[in-house]
A and B are shown apart, each in its own frame.
Chain A
Amino acid sequence: MTRFIESTITFPYKRSLGPVVGAFMTALTEKQILGIRSQDAVLVPPMEWDPATGAELPHEFVEVGPAGTVESWTWVVTPSVQHPLDHPFAFAMVRLDGATTPLLHAVDAGTPEAMSEGMRVAPRWRGTREGRIDDIICFVPGEAAETEGEDTGGAAEPVTRMDYLASITYRNPVPEAADRATEASREHRLLGLRCPTCGRVYAGGRGLCPVDAIELGPDCEVDLPHKGTITNFAIVTPVPYPGQTETEPFVRAFVLLDGTDVIIPYSVVIELPADQIKVGQRVDAVWASPAEETDEGGGMAGSFGSLLGWIPNGEPDLDDPDLVNRIF
């Protein structure tokens, strides 16, 4: 039975708006909707370039609407968390008065029977506006624009940037080989997989040989030594970003296991300060004690499980100029 894990990836984007979209968004805070002139047409939403020819458009803005006419629509029976309204609504192509092209937005009409091509709609503005397309909560039937809540007025400064939070939850299968490697780590075993074709050995629970492109099952498992040599390393100086928990420079080392061709990459080192690490240093594996066990395993990520990292073992350094080339 395959196990799945859920993970959520979040990208807090900060987008520059540029001269045309920025003018549009700034105007929204004043409860005005701008189009841009392109020869005889007025394009809404405004573009920097003519969609038909690619020609750069002069910044000649035209106020349109606020009311408009529904040119096309569809009814959203079950809104998603991303939608502007939490009850059934229409998405519609609304051609604002004075515009040549339609703007896609929501219409809060109650029922699909209330929707029709040619119906008149006007914006429902948010009381506090930031300069985003959803400063218009939605459109409502009729000619009169409305404002929800207290109107806090337009932006003091031109709007030049827009935040957009992209967040997606994924559900991925965990390869059986990864689970088996994690399980072995609980017994303080470092599991490898030997390819029957080329003889290469891989650590980390990757259940296939990337050279021969074949799957590697339990019959390919081998125990790997707990002793190795640092071949290369990086000292990471953390910069702040959402989710970053490190504050001080830290080491990630590459460890070549004795008597094998296996590199354990991006390894955590223990009792080895960043200013004392060097290529050729001899290290031993450190495993989590029962008290240190957590569901997330040790300091090493993923299927290394209870492996906390690597500690200098006091043996003399190896002096091999080729070591530094080994990061794979």
Chain B
Amino acid sequence: MSTLSNDIAVIGWAQTPMVRHTDKSETELLLEAITLAITPLGLGRADIDFTCLGSCDYITGQAFSFVSNLDAIGAWPPKRDSHVEMDGAWALYEAWLRLQEGDIEIAVVTGSGRSSTGDPALIYPMEMDPYFLAPLGADPLTFAALQARAVIAAGIADERSMAEVAVRARGKGDVESLLAEDYIRQPLRRHDVPPITDGAAAMVLATGDRARQLVERPAYVTGFDHRTECHNPSFRALGDSPSTRIAAEAAGLSDAPVEVAELQAAFTHEELLLRDVLGLGDDVAVNRSGGALRENPIMATGLCRIGHAADHIFGGGSRALAHSTSGPCLQQNLICILEGRS
């Protein structure tokens, strides 16, 4: 009685306002996001068969913080629930696998994080290799700058094309004045790096006929894969992203053209590298949402990419690609292909 993997669809999603500082707790953010996601579909919390939450204790500053987040899903009578200490995009992956068992029809996944709770520049170094990297305070900006240098050396980007990405993503500024700014981590300038954002997102998946009853045009997940590379950037070719390439092949990216791509590129050079590795031409609209350079709610940023790709299908599009990433220098990469059916 299993469900075919390509008969599982995103049928809706929602996000909280994305802000630099929120007064709300992570649980309150999730409460809002889930209600916003399910209510327009005519669903209540009792209709949800499975939940999977993506969040990070290190960001929250509380062990087992996902337990209090259960308050947002209404877990009584007891529900099937799971958690990933990863972006909500990986929670979606787990829900997609779970739905293939065929015994349930509706899943809700979330991604949530209050990055303003701590100082990301001091927290992330503690998550790095504990022997060789954490004691040096090796931080995200440093890793990003080293990768940017490698991407530039590979001929995939230059400081100008990076500034162009920033202008397009944020819809403001001009390239000449951005390039006149000082470096914050050479070759990165302020415009090359993401904002710090608080927020949460929730997404609803449904199977088969149930999906088609609930919405006119479900966004079917027709390809889904994620791959990881070595944890220590010393052993990686930073001017390339082989895990992205393999995940895209496994997800069937090359089977048909995509019209839009939503890439979790928190740094400008990452978007250029990912475009190159994925072979996205100028005919593909990349990060029309503004992407992670505009709003970067850590642990929800990847799920939002899938949400924006789904919006393209809901609006009549045929095929869309969404990408999420985790770890320093695009260490782990996830590719999700969404399709509409006529």
Contacts and interface: CB of A to CB of B under 8 A. Distances in A.
Contacts of B123: 168
Given A15-B131, A75-B183, A91 B142 contact: yes
B74 A212 contact: yes
Given A172-B25, A172-B117, A173-B23, A215 B122 contact: no
A106 interface: yes
A101 B142 CA distance: 18
B21 to A, nearest CB: 9
Chain B's interface size range is 35 or more
B61 A74 contact: no
A104 B35 contact: no
A105 B131 contact: no
Interface string B141-185: 110011001100000000000000000000000000000001111
B121 interface: yes
Given A82-B137, A171-B116, A211-B74, A77 B122 contact: no
Interface in A126-183: 132-134, 162, 164, 166, 168-173, 175
Contact of A104 (B75, B117, B138, B184): B138
A167 to B, nearest CB: 9
B121 A80 contact: yes
Interface in A1-43: 2, 7, 9, 13, 15, 17, 21, 25, 43
A115 to B, nearest CB: 8
B73 A168 contact: no
Interface string B326-339: 00000000000000
B285 interface: no
B135 interface: yes
Interface string A72-94: 11111100111110000001010
Interface stretch (B26-34, B213-221, B243-251, B314-322): B26-34
Contact of A168 (B31, B61, B72, B182): B61
B136 A93 contact: no
Given A13-B130, A134-B135, A168-B122, A173 B25 contact: yes
A184 interface: no
Interface string B176-206: 0000001111111000000000000000000
Interface stretch (B229-237, B261-269, B273-281): B229-237
Contact of A80 (B118, B137, B146, B182): B137
B34 A213 contact: yes
Nearest to A102: B234
A45 interface: yes
Centre residue among A51, A173, A175, A208 by max chain B CB count within 10 A = A173
Contact of A170 (B45, B117, B126, B134): B117
Contacts of B116: 171
Contacts of B74: 210-213
A302 interface: no
Contacts of B135: 132-134, 164
A210 B78 CA distance: 12
A98 interface: no
Interface residues of A, number: 56
Centre residue among B25, B72, B183 by max chain A CB count within 10 A = B25
Centre residue among A2, A82, A207, A213 by max chain B CB count within 10 A = A213
Given A208-B31, A210-B75, A105 B126 contact: no
A327 interface: no
A225 interface: no
A208 B25 CA distance: 11
B138 A101 contact: no
B288 interface: no
B133 interface: yes
A252 B141 CA distance: 46
A168 B145 contact: no
B47 interface: no
Nearest to A138: B136
B263 to A, nearest CB: 23
Given A112-B186, A175-B25, A213-B34, A74 B136 contact: no
B7 to A, nearest CB: 29
Interface string B97-135: 000000000000000000011110111011000111111
A7 to B, nearest CB: 7
A103 interface: yes
A132 B136 CA distance: 10
A171 B235 CA distance: 36
Interface in A195-222: 206-208, 210-215
Contacts of A25: 131
Nearest to A169: B118
Contacts of A13: 130
B70 interface: yes
Nearest to B73: A213
B71 A164 contact: no
24 contacts: A2-B23, A21-B131, A73-B146, A74-B145, A74-B146, A75-B186, A80-B139, A82-B137, A91-B136, A91-B142, A101-B234, A101-B235, A102-B234, A105-B136, A132-B135, A133-B135, A164-B135, A168-B118, A173-B24, A206-B71, A212-B74, A213-B34, A213-B35, A213-B74
Interface of A: 2, 7, 9, 13, 15, 17, 21, 25, 43-45, 47, 51-52, 72-77, 80-84, 91, 93, 101-106, 112, 132-134, 162, 164, 166, 168-173, 175, 206-208, 210-215
> Top 7 nearest A-B pairs by Cβ distance?
A82-B137, A170-B61, A74-B145, A210-B71, A2-B23, A213-B74, A51-B235
Given A43-B235, A73-B146, A210-B76, 8 more contacts: A15-B131, A76-B142, A82-B137, A170-B60, A207-B28, A208-B72, A211-B76, A213-B45
